[in-house]
Structure 1
């Protein structure tokens, strides 16, 4: 016998787009704005940290962070994010989405401020304190991934659900853009107030004492947008799907959504009672039934997110090194410390403005028209093509007259990452798993992505070093060079295409159809208008 759909859930599925949808996008999206800002602003300040704390008198080049310190500063937030995604994802299914949502935001606010207050007169102490608070900052950021995605998916209607979840994630693009703009403003303001010579002209004077304020202000700015949205997060009601399907409180779910949707919804406690008595959908994450129904889906969401983030975070964190390698950013010794921050921030802002942000919003506009699978496959395909197009004729791109072409090609890899798997890997795990495991499974998928980000951050750091040991800076061991690193990233993207075939298409279906929560013990699915028995439109 088919299970009946609760009226409150059906009302959400067929609801017209209303003000509360956009309110939820902004409230959840500001968390992602902060996430992206905090994770990527560190790439702006690592060279400045090297000049301030690791400057050596008489050195032929400006001071740079030692490889172990650079790896820790860049990667420690990812370690915290991975742990936060697993922990808060699990907690969101145990305690409810809303109860946990405020914790993550406050953790981000406190640790953003504390990161900028890493005071000491010893470089090791500053770096250790910075890494400590960036780990806990990442822990809070990690919780935002499964909670924001799950809340938005459970609030949305099925017709435009993909666009709403993607719009939350698209705020990440504005966070990256804001990081570059804040870097430009801070460095330009201090540069004009305290002029300094280039490193070649005067090594000691090229890094002014006031530069120490610049990186702290850039890092601490991330607390502002998170703090501004805390009140509104606490005002959001718990999602009806958690209240009804997990907490089994039909009356509360109907009451909350009646206010949100501004319609009268029947509580239907007797239907919830029947759901409690039925045992077909009470399997756990580690059960054979979960493996049978969703095992391949979880493998698909984790593997594609893992492979995507190897490439995506390598590109984002080390674009300054790539641009320096082809000469788009001048050599560090020809600039003062703040001039270098300005040039790196300007490059990051241009890339974000021209490719990263548009890519996200292309996904928002097209995801419910052409589907998740098509966008993800297309994105991985073009990322592979452009990576190989950059890598194979790499020496061609290093010539001055070809630099603009290199930057355009590199920008296109960002565009198709965001109009592609960087958005869809976030959307799909929030749609295809049961309500009581949705946040947990999204957290596991996202954590696999952050494991990929760590591979990208640490691996590219060493792999992109010059192949000639005599040209290696700051004690780095010789690597395989940027060209070969780009070839490896192209191969990673090609693997992502293959694993995409494990991910089901969820376009136009309700969450209960995708997770098969409206299926009875005999495998019969309740049919509603426009519903379909097929939970997969993409062959494996």
Structure 2
């Protein structure tokens, strides 16, 4: 109820879109730009790592063993999962701003360190790379709950969905820039070190200079993170944390008055009164939390888990799928640098035509048609297109049909981003109480990264198999079955979306039920006072 709401929160809910909204989007969004770049750039160079460190002779240009490939691709997700849980909890304990800078510095240091994995022993290089990728993921993990919570608590209720979606949409630009930068780097090396394809010279077609390519691509992720640090430290703590959790309405009003450039009353007396009669300060694992938000948390965790199995499987192993259908030639027909170039070009095309537009469709429409409708539609369309790829899979492998496969495959990315990939990030930042908001978002996001780990390992082994002990793993043999399983996973996402509430047009306090009991107590006290005033006193 607006009358019972603190003035600073009421002012935030009704504020017109101002410059500070765009500033917050850019500051939080650059973190997500870096997150996406760091998480997905590894898929551009895993084949190159195999050529450099696992060259097997004239008949095999070299590939990472499946267990090593799975570790390199997924170790950052393990770190991300851990970081989401830890920093999500810490954001509710210490405040959003205090924790926000830690995550960026960790990302800067570990991005640089990932590219400095030097050794003559392939195992040592891979272990060192995985070590720093884990801690890089740990820092990235903290960005998820903190960025979502900060943006939701800064935004007005009319356009809150679009603002949070805009932060998340920077992920699309991170993926796009990763591909473009890999094209630039590989093109530069290709022009300088022109090596013939493997099948022509029948010798190793990987110049030692190629070792610099993957290092440069991984280390570049430190630059946007470092540039964002100063501006993050200048942001004030969110008013909702300061007023509702830290119980300092005076500081909340002062901070937001400076940001919004309006006069706001502190309402410290109201906060003190609310604190004295507070009856709904239930904990995360309490019976009351389960009654109020248990199904909500189940909905946000399951849908994010299911979505990330499909989404990260598709992103990390695009190169294997494209090789399987013949869109990217077999490694033996390309030099190592040429292979990086072709993989980056394919992923850039997908990002440009489907991934980035999908995010911004969500930004444009989420506050018009709602979170629930977009998520339901996205999962449904992903299910349809996955089945359309899997069932006639042999048809798509035929010459002349490759582009049709790519178009259908691109549409799954479009509806992932104009769908659950965006909404699973947005909703947990809107429906839980302020004192548990970052923690619950972290739990939901960690569930998603568990799905990403399942996707990274599961799709790798589903899409590859071996016919004879000496043949090794051959990409493409199990792609059809993998796509079928991903279609079923998306169908389950449709069902679990029914547990997710709609937050369109409502304040965060309305959605979370915060101070609900306090409002009821206040009404009851007003009723008692009114009755006492009307009734005559007995003598």
- Is the pair's TM-score, using the shorter chain for normalization, greater than 0.5? yes
Q: 1:379 to 1:306 in 2, by over 3 A?
A: same
Q: Work out whether residues 297 and 502 of structure 1, in 8 Å CA contact, stay in contact via their aligned partners in 2.
A: yes
- Partner residue of 1:497? 494
Following the alignment from structure 1 to structure 2, what is the Cα–Cα distance between the partners of residues 413 and 222?
Answer: 27
Residues in 2 aligned to 1:271 and 1:252: alpha-carbon distance in whole angstroms: 14
C-alpha contact 2:34 2:221 (8 A) present in aligned 1: yes
* 2:12 matches 1:12: yes
The within-5 A match list for 1:346-357 is 346-357=345-356
CA contact (8 A) 2:308 2:448 kept: yes
**Partner residue, 2:225:** 226
SS at match of 2:217: helix
Find the residue that maps to 1:469 and give its secondary structure: coil
CA distance in 2, matches of 1:475, 1:32: 34
1:202 deviation in Å?
2.7
Q: Deviations over 1:11-34 (max 9, x none)?
A: 000000000000000000000000
1:246-265 alignment to 2 at 5 Å?
A: 246-265=245-264
Partner of 1:533: none
Q: What is the CA–CA distance in structure 1 between the aligned matches of 2:397 and 2:186, rounded to whole Å?
A: 28
CA distance in 1, matches of 2:470, 2:476: 9
User: What whole-Å deviation, never above 9, does each CA across 1:24-65 have from its counterpart, x for those lacking one?
Assistant: 00000000000000000000000000000010223x221001
Please, what TM-score do these two structures have when normalized by structure 1? Answer: 0.95
Report the Cα distance in structure 2 between the residues aligned to 1:469 and 1:386, rounded to whole angstroms.
29
Preserved contact between residue 326 and residue 398 of structure 1 (Cα < 8 Å)? yes
Q: Is the 8 A contact 1:196 1:206 kept in 2?
A: yes
Which whole-Å deviations, capped at 9, do the CAs of 1:308-354 have from their partners, x for residues lacking one?
00000000000110000110001110000000000000000000000
C-alpha distance in 2, partners of 1:228/1:2?
39
**Which structure 2 residues correspond to residues 420-431 of structure 1 after superposition, within 5 A?**
420-431=419-430
SS state at 2:274 partner:
helix
Larger radius of gyration: 2
In terms of fraction of residues, the more helix-rich structure is 2
Alignment of structure 1 residues 74-89 onto 2, 5 Å: 74-89=73-88
Instruction: String of CA shifts for 1:444-477, please: whole Å, max 9, x gaps.
Output: 00000000000000000001114x614996457x
Which residue does 2:44 correspond to in 1?
A: 44
8 A contact 1:86–1:447 mirrored in 2:
yes
Q: Distance in 1 between matches of 2:152 and 2:369?
A: 18
Structure 1 unaligned segments of length 5 or more: list them.
527-540
- Secondary structure of 1:264's counterpart equals coil
- Aligned structure 1 segments of 4 or more residues deviating by more than 4 angstroms: 521-526
d(CA) in 1 for partners of 2:330 and 2:522? Answer: 64
Match of 1:33 in 2: 33
In structure 2, runs of 5+ residues without a counterpart are 524-539
Superposed counterparts of 1:274-289, under 5 Å: 274-289=273-288
Question: What does residue 145 of structure 1 align with?
Answer: 144
C-alpha contact 1:67 1:474 (8 A) present in aligned 2: no
Question: How far off its partner does 1:407 sit?
Answer: 0.3
- 1:416: which partner in 2? 415
Q: Match of 2:514?
A: 517
Trace 1:242-391 onto structure 2 (pairs within 5 A): 242-391=241-390
Match of residue 119 from structure 2: 120
- Alpha-carbon shift at residue 112 of structure 1 (Å): 0.1
Q: 1:392-432: per-residue Cα shift (whole Å, max 9, x none)?
A: 00000001111110000000000000000000000000000
SS of 2:265's equivalent in the other structure is coil
Alpha carbons 1:211, 1:338 under 8 Å: kept: yes
1:200, 1:32 → 2: CA distance?
41
The residue number in structure 2 matching 1:110 is 109
**Which SS does the other structure have where 1:88 is aligned?**
helix
Would you say the 8 A contact 1:62–1:203 is kept in 2?
A: no
| Separation in 1, partners of 2:420, 2:189 | 39
Contact kept? 2:82, 2:141, Cα under 8 Å? yes
Structure 1 pair 386/473, CA: closer, same or farther in 2 (3 Å)? farther
Cα distance in 1 for residues equivalent to 2:370 and 2:405:
31
Please give the secondary structure, in 2, of the residue aligned with 1:401: coil
**Matched residue SS, 1:298:** helix
Aligned partners of 2:519, 2:212: CA distance in 1, in Å? 65
SS in 1 for 2:198: coil
Residue by residue over 1:187-234, the C-alpha shift from the partner in whole angstroms, topping out at 9 and shown as x without a partner, is 000000010011112344410110000000000000000000100000
SS of 2:347's equivalent in the other structure is helix
Length-normalised TM-score, structure 2? 0.95
Pair 18,522 (structure 1): closer, same or farther in 2 beyond 3 Å: closer
Q: Deviations over 1:489-518 (max 9, x none)?
A: 000000000000000000000000000013
RMSD, matched Cα: 1.7
Asked whether the equivalents of residues 324 and 476 of structure 2 are also in contact (C-alpha less than 8 Å), the reply is no
Distance 2:354 2:441 in 1: 27
Question: Is the contact made by 2:320 and 2:476 (CA closer than 8 Å) also made in structure 1?
Answer: no
Partner of 2:537: none
The answer to whether the 8 Å contact 2:378/2:420 transfers is yes
Taking structure 1 as reference, are residues 525 and 65 closer, same or farther at Cα in structure 2, changes over 3 Å only? farther
What is the CA–CA distance in structure 2 between the aligned matches of 1:327 and 1:229, rounded to whole Å?
41
The answer to whether the Cα contact below 8 Å between 1:431 and 1:506 also exists between their aligned partners in 2 is yes
Q: Alignment partner of 2:247: what SS?
A: coil
Distance change (3 Å), C-alpha of 1:140 and 1:472: farther
Report the Cα distance in structure 2 between the residues aligned to 1:167 and 1:76, rounded to whole angstroms. 27
Change (3 A) 1:471 1:15: farther
Residues in 1 aligned to 2:125 and 2:223: alpha-carbon distance in whole angstroms: 23
Partner of 2:440: 441
